[in-house]
Amino acid sequence: MTRKLLLLFALIAISSTAFFLQAASSSQVDFDLLITNGRIVDGTGNPWFTADVAIKNGHIVELGKLDPKRAGRVIDAAGKIVAPGFIDVHTHIEGGITELPAAENFLRMGVTSVVTGNCGSSVLNFNEWFSRLEKLGVSVNVASLVGHNTIRREGMNGDFDRPPTTEELQRMRDLVTKAMRDGAVGFSTGLEYIPGTYGKTDEIVEMAKASGEFGGVYATHMRDEGEFVEKSVRESIEIGEKANCPVEISHFKVSSKKRWGASVQTIKLVEDARLRGQQVTVDQYMYPASSTGIGILFPSWVFEGGAEKAKERMTDPATRARIRRELIEKAEQRGVADFAFAVVANHSANQTFNGKNIAEITQMTRQKNDPDSQAEQVIEIQLAGGAQMVLHSMSDTDVDRIFRQPFTMIASDSGVHNPESASIPHPRGYGNNARVLGVYVREKKLVGVEEAIRKMTSLPAGTFRLWDRGLLRPGMAADVVVFDEKTVADRATFQQPKQYPAGINFVIVNGQIVIENDKHTGTKSGQILRSRAAGK
C-alpha cells in the first residue's frame, strides 16, 4: 500500500471518528431550549416557585432543576419571572395581520396568542383565511370568533332594520355552524353597530346556540355600555342562559360620565349569574378611554341602507339638522357637554387632525367650537371617509374595580399596528399587558403578580378552550414570556402611543424565540388555534 493511500485511509478514519463523536454529542442534547434560574409563575394563580423550564419540539417537556448541558440553548432568567405567554382575548387583526405578520406590537407586550373576530366582525370563510395565514407564516398564534354582523350581511337580503325571515335565520345559523366546523372558537356580536344593532335577543340566541353546540363561547360587545349598561349586561347573560353556552362580555366598562360607579351593579349581575352556575367572564383594557370608529357617535339609523344612503342623509339639509341634534343628544347621554372627549386617532383625508379632539379641530377649521359647530365637524369627518377615534369617557375607579374581579381577563381591543404610519392610535395596542404588571400590580397593588398572570393566561385559555395553552406544564405548548417585574412598564401614552414596553426580555412562541432583548427575531412560529370542534 502506498504512502498516499495510507494517508487517505487515516484521514477517512479521523473524519469518521469526528462524525461519530459529534453525533454522540448531539444525541446527549435532550432539549432545544432551557430557561434556568427563573421564578416560575405558572398561570394557575398559585405562588411562584423556582425551577428550570425545558422545551423540545415546541412543547414544555420538563420543569425542575435541570442540567444546562442537556440543552442546545440556555436562557439564564435569574432575577426574572417566567410565565406562560399572554393570551389577548379581544383583538381585531383581520385587517393587518397579512400585511404585518410579525404582529410586533402584540409580541412586545408578551402576547403569544390572540382571539380575533370580535364585536360582530370577522372573516366569513375560515378555511380559506386560516390556510392563507398558515401559508404566509405569522409570529403569533391566532384564534377567531365568527361575527354576527358578518353573518347578518351574508344571510339577509338587503334591508336590515327588521327581523330575519325563517329562511334567513336558518341560513345565518348554518353559516355559524360552518364557521365552527372550520375552527372558530365561538360567536361574537357588536350590538352597537350596523347591522347587528337590529338583531333582537331571540335571533342572537339561535346563533349562539349553534356556537354552543360545538363548545363555542358567546362574546359580546353589548348594545349599550353607558346609560343603559345594566340592561345590556342582563341581555348578554340571558342569551348565554337560553343558548346554553358560556358568555364573555367584551371590554367591560361604564362609558358614560353620568353613570360612573355603575360597575358596582354590573359586577353584581355577573357575580349572581356565576353563583347560579352560569359561566360568565368579562375582559377589559387597562385605560379609562375606548377606541372605535367615529360612526359610534351617530344614531344608528343614519347608516341604514349602506354608505350611499348615509351620504344622502348627511347632505340633505333637513336630515342633516336632525343628525346634528341627535349627535349632541348622544354626547349628552355620556354626561358631557361637547365633543372634546373624542380624539381623532387616524383620519386619512386630513392627517393634521390626528391626535386632536373634535373641539380643537372645530376651532382650527371653523374658528369656533360650540356644540352645534362640533357636530357639523363630526359630520364632515364622516363624509370625508370617517376616522378612528379615542373616546375619553370612563373613570379610573370603575377600571380598578372591574380589574380586581376574579372573572376579568385582559384584552387590548387592538389590531396589528404599523409604527411607521401617521396614525395616533390608542396606547392599549402597545402597552396593555405591560401596564397591568407595571401600574396595576407593582404601583397600585390591586392584585398580586400571580393573579394578574392568571387573568392573562389560564383564565382566557380555559374560557376559549385553548387547552394546550395558558399554563407552564409538561406537555403544554411552549408559549413563554420572561420579564423583569421590577422594570416592566408600558411606555405608550395617548400623546405618543407607538412605544413598546420596557422589561419584557424574551417571548417564545411554540418553542421558538420571537422577541429577544427588545428585538423581533423574524421568526414566524405562530399557529392557527382551531377549536377542538373543527372538522366535526
Q: What is the pLDDT of residue 427?
A: 97
| Alpha helices, DSSP H, located in 182-243 | 201-212, 229-243
pLDDT in tens, 313-326: 999 999 999 999 99
47 has pLDDT over 90 = yes
CA distance 59 to 184: 23
pLDDT of 16 strictly over 90: no
Q: Are 431 and 439 in contact (CB under 8 A)?
A: no
Helix (H) or strand (E) holding 304: none
- Cα 274 to Cα 141, 214, 277, 332, 456: the distances in Å are 30, 21, 5, 34, 20
- Cα–Cα distance, 207 to 211 (Å, whole number): 7
- Confidence band (pLDDT; 50, 70, 90) for 28? confident
Q: CA geometry: angle at 94 spanning 462 and 440, to 5°?
A: 50
Given a cut of 50, is residue 138 above it in pLDDT?
A: yes
Report angle CA 175, 249, 441 to the nearest 5 degrees.
135
Cell output for 390:
379615542
For residue 27, pLDDT over 80 is answered with: no
Q: Over 60: is that where the pLDDT of 454 sits?
A: yes
Instruction: Please state the separation of Cα 78 from the chain's center in Å.
Output: 30
Longest dimension (CA), the chain: 108
pLDDT, average across residues 243-253: 98
158 or 16, which is more confident: 158
- Grid cell listed for 187: 360567536
pLDDT in tens, 152-183: 999 998 789 999 999 999 999 999 999 999 99
pLDDT for 118: 98
Q: For position 23, what pLDDT does the model report?
A: 34
Query: How far is residue 54's CA from residue 473's CA, in Å, rounded to a whole number?
Result: 10
Query: With bands split at pLDDT 50, 70 and 90, how would you rate the model's confidence at 18?
Result: very low
Among 125-134, 170-179, 327-336, the range scoring the smallest mean pLDDT is 327-336
Q: CB neighbours of 72 closer than 8 A, spacing ≥ 6?
A: 29, 31, 32, 33
Long-range contacts, stretch 520-524, CB < 8 angstroms, 24+ apart: 520/102, 520/104, 520/107, 520/108, 520/139, 522/102, 523/139, 524/101, 524/102, 524/137, 524/138, 524/139
pLDDT above 90 (res 1): no
Band of the pLDDT at 426, cuts 50, 70, 90? very high
Q: What is the rounded average pLDDT for all residues in the chain?
A: 94
Mean pLDDT across the stretch 400-419? 97
Asked whether residue 95 carries a pLDDT value surpassing 70, the answer given is yes
Q: What is the pLDDT averaged over residues 49-66? A: 98
Quick one: what percent of the chain has pLDDT higher than 70?
95
* Alpha-helical runs (H) found in 53-109: 104-107
> Is the pLDDT assigned to residue 14 strictly greater than 90?
no
CA dihedral 481, 487, 492, 496 (to 10 degrees): -140
AA identity, residue 430: Y
Q: 10 Å Cβ neighbour count for 527?
A: 18
Q: What are the tens digits of pLDDT across the range 254-297?
A: 999 999 999 999 999 999 999 999 999 999 999 999 999 999 99
Of the candidates 434, 520, 505, 458, the one whose C-alpha atom is nearest the C-alpha of residue 84 is: 458
Instruction: Please report the pLDDT score of residue 158 as a whole number.
Output: 77
Q: Distance between CA 512 and CA 526 in Å, rounded? A: 9
Q: What is the pLDDT of residue 536?
A: 73
pLDDT of residue 281: 98
Q: Give pLDDT, residue 276.
A: 97
- Measured in degrees and rounded to the nearest 5, phi and psi for residue 287 equal -145, 150
Sign of the alpha-carbon dihedral angle for 398, 337, 427, 291: positive
User: Which residues touch 54 (CB under 8 Å, ≥6 apart)?
Assistant: 30, 31, 33, 34, 60, 61, 62, 63, 66, 70, 71
Please give the pLDDT value at position 4. Answer: 45
Kind of pairing, strands 217-221 and 186-190? parallel
Q: What is the pLDDT of residue 306?
A: 87
DSSP 97-132: TTT-TT-HHHHTTTEEEEEE--TT---S-HHHHHHH
Return d(Cα 291, Cα 426) in angstroms, integer: 6
Averaged pLDDT for residues 416-430? 95
CA distances in angstroms from 79 to 39, 487, 513, listed in the order given: 7, 11, 19
Residue 190 has pLDDT above 80, yes or no: yes
**First-last CA distance in the chain:** 70
CB 114 within 8 A of CB 138: no
The pLDDT > 90 percentage for the chain reads: 92
Rounded-to-integer distance, Cα 337 and Cα 488, Å: 38
Helix (H) or strand (E) holding 513: strand 512-516
Residue 363: other Cβ atoms inside 10 A: 16
Distance between CA atoms of residues 205 and 22, nearest Å:
62
